[in-house]
Structures are given as structure tokens and as C-alpha cells.
Amino acid sequence: ASPNSDRPRRRSRALHIPSHASCCTSPDVSRPSCPVSKSSNPFSRSIRPGHQIQPPPPPFGQIYIGPGVSVRSGGHRLAQPKPTHHLPSRKFPPPHAPTQPTMAPPTHRLLLLLALACALCAAAAGDPRTAVAGQSCAPGSAVSGSVLADNFVPAMDDLNSNVSANGFGTSAVGARGPNTVFGLGQCHRDLSPLDCKLCFAEVRSLLPKCYPRVGGRLFLDGCFGRYGNYSFLGEALGPADARVCAPGNASNPRGFADAARAAVANVTEAAVRGDADGYAVASASAGGATAFALAQCWGSLNATACGQCLRAAARAAAGCAPATEGRALYTGCYLRYSTRLFWNVNATAGSGSSGKNGVVWILVGSFLGAFIVVLIIAFLAWKKGILRRKKQSKSFIDMYGDGVSVRIAQSSLNFKYEELRKATNYFDPANKLGQGSNGAVYKAVMPDGKEVAVKRLFLNTREWVEQFFNEVELISQVRHKNLVKLLGCSVNGPESLLVYEYYFNKSLELFLFDASRSRKLTWDLRVCIIQGIAEGLSYLHEESEIRIIHRDIKASNILLDDKYKPKITDFGLARAFAADITHLTTGVAGTLGYMAPEYIVHGHLTEKADVFSYGVLLLEIVTGKRCSGPIGSHGGQALLTKVLLRSLISCLSYFYSKRREVSL
């Protein structure tokens, strides 16, 4: 039982899902379907074996998912509908009954719904192009890993601020020497300021994977990031330069090869012109085929070095033809060609001033009504952000002090570092269970034969130690059947380690997106997993001693036990709220694709950030499609846009049918 079971529960504002303790079991064990209480579900009836019941249509603004689960678009709440609180439905007479006069749904609602949907679709048209094109790490390791780490985090912070403001930036932190950290970041100039922020947020999340190497570079299709322990800002070419060719060829190989070479030559010459400032896009046609190309030099290069880099990159990329895609990932520049137009045509460059709320909305088509709605919403959001007083969030080190480490070391949570190191077979790659943005997880076998999972953090700087103690403090204070159980940690070794229960089925991600394993996730199991995650979030938001927002809900952070019950894990980015606080203004953190748009733009953290992430995860569970895909894919945008359009069509069809029924 929960240690907080005797404490009165607060009313849930964000998530509430009824508990079904024995809902999820192994698919190999015979079990009843997930029960739905008659008292809490107006749609529930007695169901005989082999008899299927179709539920009545949900009220407007609500999408039916399955028994006891519904999503309401306007209230940010997921719950079983209750008889006393569900939206009243309009009763229509039977087909042969006399028709009573009734008021048709207002037409302006349809127009407003259409305008908002068009605006959202247009806004979703912007593409930050966060697919990883390539990553490489320098061969040498740091002479003093702790000193390099102390300089790395502030260097990345400075770099992120510069790139977010100007589309390009450099940084340097530390005294001159082998542990100084230099940074460089660049967004391609076709990205809007918002897309630039999104793209470089992904760079900042992935680039630390090169630590403790003395340098690393990461190419995304929309931006670039690099760090090193020497000043490399003027370099144009280097030994790590590479090209990446797509595995398949164009349908018209000869014609497309000629078109690709011509497009690469055109874009190179256009980018090295004096007025181009190292950036250009171009296209060319030959033999019935068309190729599109983009070239971008880093802002730290002069015109001569830029031309040297792009001409070398052009020769490399042209060698990929007739492959459908070709990329040259060079020290001082990036060049790409493709069979499709991949840059943002209507977007402004990702440079220049972009204030805290400076968002360039990309509008498509001739929907004047949608344009006006977006302008009004953007103006109100900007004005609200200017007038709102920003509050600084406190870290757990600031709240509790360095004595936390002493308390942990003296408690039963403490494990010996060497014991855990041996249990993982010295962090053998064969025992690696997964990789996150701030650490790797290994399977370990303790001396008594018990299997556990050990999380090994990348860095031990103050910022990363904050995440470590944050996770220990939060998980050690919460107890729930849908939250991972922390067994202990190690704080006295050369690196920080966390010890969790080991779950045989590992993460939900391994089942959702694997063709063979996904068959084991029956619809009953998927509904139970959806409910279990919601129950865990409801506990964190409203029922625990401290109010917690997770900030990184995604498939890889949901573990499954041997009965496929979900367990929420990875609390490194979580934040605690006081009961009287409505939101925190904090640095944006999380996984791109799962983060709520208002949180990305304004940095205002509320429970709704978790609700948005949960909604994206719910779509992944139902559809089996990733929110984010591999190189060149647009899976996340396509998934969300399809759901939006289908919801719009369903709503319009519902209104149309009611209007027609009234007219008849």
C-alpha cells in the first residue's frame, strides 16, 4: 500500500484515470478484459461473450479511444466520463417521430474550428529538420575529465543562448590549456527563429554523448554543433570530413545524376558569391529529373575559407549521384542534395533578433480567417509574456544543500561503487540496456544473484550532480505501482550511479516499434498501459507528498514488468512544485517532439507539459508510429498532422450530420 494512502487526496487538475490493479497481465495468461465500472462510465453495459457493443458518439470535443478512456481537447484532462459531469448531449427524435423545432449548431463555430485547424496545420508546416545526418567524436580523452566537464556545461549554455538569439554563435570557457572548451553552433538560414531553437535544442541534448572525448561534432539536417579543447573556429577542412549517401538510387538514374551534379555546382557558386554570405539553395533539371541542393558555411569562416570548404564538399556530394540523397559533412560547411525540396521556402533565416516570444508563424494558402486568428493569438501570447513576472526555479541542491550527499551516504540507499562496477562486469557493452541523454543503463547481477539495473551518468559537474540528486530525492519519496522503484545509489566513486529494479521486458519503445514484438501488445494490453501511465502521472501531479512534473514522458522512459504493467522512470529532469505555485519559469528540457509548444516558446512549466507528452505517447501506442523518425523522415509531424486533420473531419462530419438531420 502507498505510504500516503491515509492522507486526503487533492483534486486532480491534470490527469485522473481509475485504477484497475489487475488489468495488465502477460499475453500468455488467460485474463478478462480491462474492467470498466458501471457507476463511472455511462457507456458501460453487461457484455456477453462474443457480443460487441458500439458506444454512442462522444460529445463534441471528445475523441473515443476505448472503454473508460477518452481525450477531451479543451480541458487537458483524461478521465472516464462521469454521469454527473459529462457534457450534455442533444437528443434528436427517432426517424418517424414528429420533428420538434430545434436550433442548428451555429455556423460560426464551424468557421472558427476550420480557421484554427488551418492555422495549426500551417504552423506545423515549419520543419526544424532535427534528423541526425552524422556525428563524430575526437579520438583523444580529456587529461582532466572533471575540469573539462566543469567548462563544458557553461560553454554549451553560452552557445545555446547565442544561437537562439542570432542563428549562429561561438563560446569559449576556461583558462588557455588542454581543458578549455570552445564551442560553435549554426542554424541553416532557412530555419525560422523557433525552428532554430528546436533544432539546436536537439544538438545540445545529443552532443554530450561524445564526453569524455576532448571534442565532438554533430550534424543535423537543420543545424550544426561542435566543441573542442582548442580554437577550431577558422578551420575549413579536416580529417573527419565525410560524405553520406542514401542507400537507394533515383528512379531515373542517368537523368537525376546529371541534375544532381548541376544543382550542386549551382548552389556552390551561389553560396560563395560576396552577397550570399555562405548560404544558398538551388535546383536543376536534366533528362526529366529535378534535384534540389542547399549549401551553408559556418559563420566563423571568411569568404576564402568558405569557398575552399564548399568546393571540396561539392565534389564529395556529387559523387553520391544517382543516389536519392547526398550529404557532405565538412569541418567548415554542410552541403546536401535531394530528389525533393527539403528546405523551408517561406521561412526567414534563423538569424537576427528573436525576442522571448518572437515566433514567426508560417502560413500556407489563402485562408484569411486563419491568418487573422493566428495574429490575434500571437499578439495576446506576446503581451501576456511581457506582463508576466518571471520566477526563477530552484534546484534541489539550492533547496537542500550539499548535505544531501551525506544523508544518502549514511542511508540504506548507499551502494559501494566497486560492487556495482563488478556486478555490471565492469560496464560491459553486452550488458547495456539503453542509452539516454544523460546516462547509460546496464544490467547488473548482485552477489546474492539479484538482477538490478544500474544507471551510469555521463558527467559529474554541479549541473549534472543536480540532476542526480534530483532523481534520488524525488524517487525515494514517492511510492506507486506505476513508478519505477529506486533501490539505491553510489555517490562516493569516480562517477554517479543509480540502482533500480530490473524489469524483464525493458522499455515500451522496444515493443511499440518492433514488427515482431508489437504483436504481443494486444489492444487490451495497450489500453492497460495507457491507463497505468496516466495513473502514475496523476499520482505525481496530485496525490504524492510533493507535486512533481516529470518533463520527459516518452516510450523509452516507460518500463514494462513481466506482466506488462508500465513503470515511469528517468526523473533526472523532473521538477517539484509547491502547492501554491501555478507554474515555474525554467530552462527548456525534454525530448523534441514530446514537448508542448507553449513550454518550448515561453519556458513556463506546468502539469500540462506532461499531459502534452502523454498525448503524443498515447498516439504512438495507438498507431504504432514514432513521433520522431530516422534521417530525412517526417514521422512526428505527419503523425500529429494526420490526427489533427482526422479530428477536424470527424467534428465537421458530426456538425454536418446534425444540421442535415435538423433540416430534414
Active-site positions?
552
| Cα–Cα distance for residue pair 70/622, rounded to 1 Å | 13
Residues 6+ apart with CB under 8 A from 98: none
Question: Which is it for strands 333-338 and 289-297: parallel, antiparallel or unpaired?
Answer: antiparallel
E strands, 446-546, are: 451-457, 486-490, 497-501
CA nearest neighbour of 424 among 364, 493, 368, 471: 493
Residues 6+ apart with CB under 8 A from 436: 556, 570, 572
Length reported for the chain = 664
Question: Is 624 exposed, middle or buried, given 0-12, 13-18 or 19+ CB atoms closer than 10 A?
Answer: middle
Which residue type is seen at 168? F
| Cα–Cα distance for residue pair 85/462, rounded to 1 Å | 48
Residues 6+ apart with CB under 8 A from 138: 210, 213, 214, 215, 216, 228
**455 is an annotated ligand-binding site residue:** yes
Q: Cell 514488427 sits at which residue?
A: 515
Question: Which is it for strands 168-173 and 69-72: parallel, antiparallel or unpaired?
Answer: unpaired
Instruction: Give 3-state DSSP helix, strand, coil % of the chain, rounded to 5.
Output: 35, 20, 45
Instruction: Provide the sign of the torsion angle of the four alpha carbons 479, 482, 487, 493, taken in this order.
Output: negative
| Cα–Cα distance for residue pair 128/221, rounded to 1 Å | 8
Cell of 56: 454512442
| Cα–Cα distance for residue pair 262/278, rounded to 1 Å | 19
- Contact between 497 and 489 (Cβ < 8 Å): yes
Q: Which own/partner contact pairs does 483-488 have at CB distance under 8 Å and 24+ positions apart?
A: 483/536, 483/539, 483/540, 483/567, 483/568, 483/569, 484/559, 484/567, 484/568, 484/569, 485/567, 486/413, 487/413, 487/452, 488/412, 488/413, 488/414, 488/415
Which secondary-structure segment (H or E) carries 328? strand 325-329
Cell of 327: 550529404
Residues 6+ apart with CB under 8 A from 506: 433, 434, 559, 560
Residues annotated within the binding site are 455
Residues annotated within the binding site for ATP are 455
